[in-house]
Structure 1
């Protein structure tokens, strides 16, 4: 049986990210425009329990776990990349960008923390040597970052996608200053419109990306012609309103860690599950109260966290009561499984 509930203590402003701990499948971090990072135990009592919140000087745009359950990294509109000790609450600044920092992501095998800023740079941090970081110059603003076991995918404002090898990035961390790390591959987005999100397949084979124009593309890393022929894009997150096809941005993507299927979340308040290999939708959930801004599967694949907040697709700037929530869905056996061969 699958079941779904809403977290008892939600952020008070737009949710920028939800992310589960890779070590404990019930520990969840949520970052928000209300200048806080929240830590929850999603299974402690009905509605879960907020363990602690960590205040920042400005809206927080992203958060991730680090080397263990008690370490997190955050970034946001104060231009800074921070380490948070989740036990003591102590925050340490690891680096400062020249503009707001959109994304922060940790690659555990390489002990590598990467931040992506609207100043069109990446900062590479070796988490075992805090205070040292190197800068990689990008061609455009990075909108979304995702890591696979060996690669970092950077989706940029110019519709460019840079794919880096984590080995090359990790070896550049100790050099300091601006480093010249050439992407393993440079690609152009398969979609005509601006990229919203990118997510890597857990099996290291490729990635999915989504656009502001209700589309998702699936492609593979393997540069061979045969493999590149397999890439495709499809329409989703569209609703018929008064006989018109209304197209919504696809804000969020997340791959299931066990089955390799993926979830998409849109401005229409809908979450859908997809089998990317067999090109079919597995299921679509009932509409959430507002736009789906962020998605994350737990490390064991049993839970899906859905961050819901107004995406202002309707042109309304004020936030209605009850529009900001985090839902936790407990998946039934096989709920996220692809088509049997």
Structure 2
């Protein structure tokens, strides 16, 4: 395993309370600028941009919900201008990042813990059959789909809704596969299809996690053939979609491994993110470390320098050169209760090939 370079300085104007999500935009402007979106418990959505000639990211927009409601999740809409935040109050907020205007799109009965749009790395979002569709998962145990095609007049209701039987703790959408991890160690896979102008999510699998303890994070492979689950017990499971009905005697490929442990202390795995081109993945834990893994060859590639407190979120950059940047949120997640802790920070690190690409 190769040594890794230190992190660059943190981004300017970081959130002032717990960072709940990070996501890079699929949309590149004419200057091929990388754009990063964050959500946090201080009720803000923040945009950071970096043009190719710039040495670092700049903070370009900070917008709050009307009541400063903590935001548990966020995603981009149909453009860089409109972003969406999932509130602790169960409200799905649409935020105009240019004008600072906030509108209510719809509601869940409890906090919206996950928001996502389809990841289609091979084509621009406007050519995707899922363009204009967003998924939300909530602690009320429901999945909803929403249309984002007309941001100036957001709809007052979802276009699809179904129960997932437990609190949503993690969600990821790659092309037509939607992965949802819920309470009770349940994992749900949905086939999201468009028929005419309507979207629907058809349940294809419900299984129990290989891991013995509560799921904290999840992510699909870039080809959606499998997924990774991170648990509160410092373990990651690698599972495959087609193996749901295969017995152990038939030679399952799934496996699990220990990680994010320091001596006898076990830390939750708060974040999992796959490299969009190489299929390797990063995990972030409450031990303050980010580690790159090769799922196919069951190898650890590199451990990045440990930060001062928990890693709460991770995101790889997207687009043609996807994966060249890794965004890392340093943010205490209160796993040890109320106490003094380091400031919340966001780092964006350039990833070298040997750190993200298997040598095997």
Please report the TM-score for the alignment, with normalisation by the length of structure 1. 0.90
CA distance in 2, matches of 1:76, 1:173: 28
1:205 Cα deviation from its structure 2 partner: 1.3
CA distance in 2, matches of 1:8, 1:126: 33
CA RMSD of aligned residues (A): 2.2
Identify which range, 127-136 or 304-313, moves more after superposition: 127-136
Identify which range, 325-334 or 291-300, moves more after superposition: 325-334
Structure 1 residue 68 corresponds to structure 2 residue 86: no
Contact 1:214–1:249 (8 Å) recurs in 2: yes
Identify which range, 21-30 or 190-199, moves more after superposition: 21-30
CA gap 1:255/1:171 in 2 versus in 1, 3 angstroms: same
Structure 1 residue 122 corresponds to structure 2 residue 148: no
1:66 Cα deviation from its structure 2 partner: 2.0
Structure 1 residue 19 corresponds to structure 2 residue 39: no
Contact 1:196–1:251 (8 Å) recurs in 2: yes
CA displacement 1:98-150 (0-9 Å, x = unmatched): 11111111125313211111111111112236414132112111111001122
CA gap 1:319/1:19 in 2 versus in 1, 3 angstroms: farther
Instruction: Spell out the pairing of 1:86-165 with structure 2 (5 A cutoff).
Output: 86-107=97-118, 108=125, 109=128, 110-111=130-131, 112-128=133-149, 130-131=154-155, 132-133=157-158, 134-165=160-191
1:254 Cα deviation from its structure 2 partner: 0.3
2:217 equivalent in structure 1: 197
Query: Alignment length, in residue pairs?
Result: 328
Identify which range, 282-291 or 130-139, moves more after superposition: 130-139
Contact 2:78–2:149 (8 Å) recurs in 1: no
1:210 equivalent in structure 2: 230
Contact 1:103–1:116 (8 Å) recurs in 2: yes
CA gap 1:121/1:173 in 2 versus in 1, 3 angstroms: farther
> Match for 1:318 among 339, 342, 352?
339
1:4 Cα deviation from its structure 2 partner: 2.5
Identify which range, 66-75 or 98-107, moves more after superposition: 66-75
CA distance in 2, matches of 1:333, 1:229: 30
Please report the TM-score for the alignment, with normalisation by the length of structure 2. 0.85
1:68 Cα deviation from its structure 2 partner: 2.3
1:337 equivalent in structure 2: 357
CA gap 1:173/1:252 in 2 versus in 1, 3 angstroms: farther
